Amino acid sequence: MSTHRHLLGPPRFGLTVERIARHLLECYGDFADTRLVGIQPRGSVFAARLHERLVRHAPELQLGKLDITFFRDDFRTGVKPLRPDPMVMPFSTEGKRVILVDDVLYTGRTISAALSALQSLGRPREVELVVMVERRFQRELPIAPDYLGLSIDALDEAYVRVRWREVDGRDEVVLYPNKAASKA
Amino acid sequence: MSVTELPTRLSTRHLLGIRDISAADIELIFSTAEGFTNMLQGRIRKVPTLRDTTVANVFFESSTRTRISFELAEKRLSADTVNFSASGSSVSKGETLLDTVRNILAMKVDMVVMRHPAPGACQFLSQHIDANIINAGDGTHEHPTQALLDAYSMRRRLGDLRGRRVVVVGDILHSRVALSNFLCLNKLGAEVAVCGPLTLIPRYVESLGVKVFAHLDDALAWCDVANVLRIQHERQDINFFPSLREYHRLYGITRARLAKAEKPILVMHPGPINRGVELSSDVADDPDQAIILEQVENGVAIRMAVLYLLGASTER
């Protein structure tokens, strides 16, 4: 594979977000005792997008942004920059149902770090996971999404980028042959 | 420097002095500290990052603030800590520095935070042992984390330090904070001056790009920030000025003096304060003017950032 491939763009991108929002609505009803938590930096953009739709039905639903930089177990590998994002968690997760939101699920390390970060804020009653894109295979931990936008099979060195209108100017999911190509 | 241009790693394995780190390193430390500052104000006060790391705090000279600050920083990163102080240890039995530290390292310690009365002690140690070394003050030489937290505190109050003017007032000769401050502020683009009795100002200080003011009023008229140093009685075996009363009259920061400058001046002090000598109580206790306790608060975040970044650069 030499060039990138568009996997999702408007209008399907918007429909996918809409579908996940409706699925959550169906499962959570009035979202009592529920908190929507996006993983910084890019999961929180997705979470905000979902929140915008869900508050129409559940005005009480609170949104949090969880920074997991200091909870990563792979911080010494030098893959990720050591740069924290703001943590905005204006509530305790004690006894709450938490909907954890991220853009891409790959090795599962991020979600694992997010779970330990959540635990230091209290003991949630239940945690469910929403991701826009799941990369199957190469999972390093027993973690699976509960709500899913798109599932793909890709080579190990491939790189999946989810772009959001709010931060990148457009909505799309693109598969690149490697990470460097996503920046070109 | 924008966030995207920042490096992801420090350029060094040790923090021996500000001299050895680059402006980009300083920016990286600040940006990481920002994260810890936010964290410490929130619900989570402790993260598991350095749970596999053991840190030895080796203090050959007394310290309260720096030591507690380092210890808190280590504990909030979940590192294991051991404390060692020279008084009541085998040092008084004649053991050398290298032997003492080698013995501690033989018990599998990954990082050493050291304060020592001899300038260059940390440098020396870094050439002989494998652990990451953080200088917590070596004699009258450097005290890098203090300079970093000073600059960080200024930046949080004033924004970008380029073109800002900082005067360091008082006992420059015996201070380890002063040299680190000059180097750090210079790297961040600020202008630096000193002010104090000429007997307490090193002779060649101008070669560091530092202005010298003999009169406090001139210095205050020039500066945006006054970083006031403590008169270190314990290091002065001869008299450098006639009396504390005279010192206060000539170089003590008081409300009346600051009012004469007719502009806001941020007052800082690395502690411990000699009230009524270098700083009058009304200034020291005014939270709009003096940010002494903010410095202490930022100190933990800065030290967490340094420990975290050095810890991350090392394979375990």
Contact: B39, A70; criterion CB under 8 Å:
yes
Residue among B256, B277, B253 nearest B266 (CA): B253
Q: pLDDT digit string (tens) for B203-222? A: 889 999 999 999 999 999 99
B152–chain A Cβ distance below 8 A for any pair: no
Confidence at residue B46, expressed as pLDDT on a 0 to 100 scale:
87
Q: How far is CA B113 from CA A73, B31, B254, B301, in A?
A: 24, 22, 36, 16
Beta strands in A24-125 (DSSP E): 34-39, 62-66, 97-105
Confidence at residue A2, expressed as pLDDT on a 0 to 100 scale:
57
Contact: A82, B32; criterion CB under 8 Å:
yes
Q: How far is CA A42 from CA A47, A62, A85, B303, B311, in A?
A: 9, 18, 10, 28, 26
CB of A66 closer than 8 Å to CB of A41 = no
Confidence at residue A81, expressed as pLDDT on a 0 to 100 scale:
59
Residue among B263, B288, B261, B284 nearest B273 (CA): B284
Name the burial class of residue A3, with classes exposed (0-12), middle (13-18) and buried (19+) by CB atoms within 10 angstroms of its CB.
exposed
Smallest CA–CA distance, residue A73 to chain B, in Å, is 7
What confidence category does residue A1 fall into, taking pLDDT thresholds of 50, 70 and 90?
Answer: very low
Which amino acid makes up residue B281? Answer: S
Confidence at residue B239, expressed as pLDDT on a 0 to 100 scale:
78
Instruction: Give the C-alpha separation, B36 to B34, whole Å.
Output: 5
Confidence at residue B1, expressed as pLDDT on a 0 to 100 scale:
46
Give the sign of the dihedral formed by CA A110, CA A112, CA A115, CA A117. negative
∠B212-B215-B216 over CA atoms, to 5°? 100
What confidence category does residue A82 fall into, taking pLDDT thresholds of 50, 70 and 90?
Answer: low
CB of A109 closer than 8 Å to CB of A72 = yes
Instruction: Give the C-alpha separation, B62 to B69, whole Å.
Output: 14
B44–chain A Cβ distance below 8 A for any pair: yes
Residue pLDDT tens, chain B, 316 long: 445 567 778 889 999 999 999 999 999 999 889 988 988 887 778 888 898 899 999 998 888 889 999 999 999 999 999 988 877 566 666 778 888 888 888 888 899 999 998 999 999 989 888 899 999 999 889 999 999 999 999 999 999 999 999 999 999 998 999 999 999 999 999 999 999 999 999 988 999 999 999 999 999 999 999 999 988 777 666 678 888 889 999 999 999 999 998 899 999 999 889 999 999 999 999 988 899 999 999 999 999 999 999 988 776 5
B48–chain A Cβ distance below 8 A for any pair: yes
Smallest CA–CA distance, residue A24 to chain B, in Å, is 28
Virtual torsion, Cα A115, A118, A122, A123, nearest 10 deg: -30
Contact: A81, B47; criterion CB under 8 Å:
no
Q: pLDDT digit string (tens) for A22-79? A: 999 999 988 889 999 999 889 999 999 999 999 999 998 999 999 888 888 777 766 5
Contact: A84, B44; criterion CB under 8 Å:
no
Contact: A81, B31; criterion CB under 8 Å:
no
Pairing status of strand A159-163 against strand A172-176: antiparallel
B256–chain A Cβ distance below 8 A for any pair: no
Q: pLDDT digit string (tens) for A96-154? A: 999 999 999 999 999 999 998 888 888 999 999 999 999 988 889 999 999 999 999 88
Instruction: Give the C-alpha separation, B200 to B235, whole Å.
Output: 12
Contact: B315, A76; criterion CB under 8 Å:
yes
Biggest CA pair distance of chain B? 58
Q: Which of B2, B3, B8, B9 to mutate to test the interface with A (most CBs of A within 10 A)?
A: B8
Contact: B316, A76; criterion CB under 8 Å:
yes
In this structure, chain B runs to a length of: 316
Confidence at residue B183, expressed as pLDDT on a 0 to 100 scale:
95
Q: Which of A40, A82, A92 to mutate to test the interface with B (most CBs of B within 10 A)?
A: A82
Select the residue of A69, A92, A121 nearest B35 (Cβ to Cβ). Answer: A69
Contact: A82, B8; criterion CB under 8 Å:
yes
- Chain A residues close to B316, C-beta within 8 Å: 76
Smallest CA–CA distance, residue A11 to chain B, in Å, is 31
Residue of B nearest to A70 (CA): B49
Contacts across the A-B interface (CB distance below 8 Å): 63
Confidence at residue B235, expressed as pLDDT on a 0 to 100 scale:
65
- Chain B residues close to A86, C-beta within 8 Å: 35, 38
Confidence at residue B9, expressed as pLDDT on a 0 to 100 scale:
82
CB of A50 closer than 8 Å to CB of A24 = yes
A137–chain B Cβ distance below 8 A for any pair: no
More confident site: B269 or A82 = B269
Confidence at residue B241, expressed as pLDDT on a 0 to 100 scale:
86
DSSP alpha helix (H) spans, B144-206:
144-158, 176-187
What confidence category does residue A91 fall into, taking pLDDT thresholds of 50, 70 and 90?
Answer: confident
Which amino acid makes up residue B225? Answer: V
Instruction: Give the C-alpha separation, A88 to A83, whole Å.
Output: 16
- First-to-last C-alpha distance (Å) of chain A: 16
Select the residue of B35, B48, B311 nearest A84 (Cβ to Cβ). Answer: B35
Which amino acid makes up residue A58? Answer: A
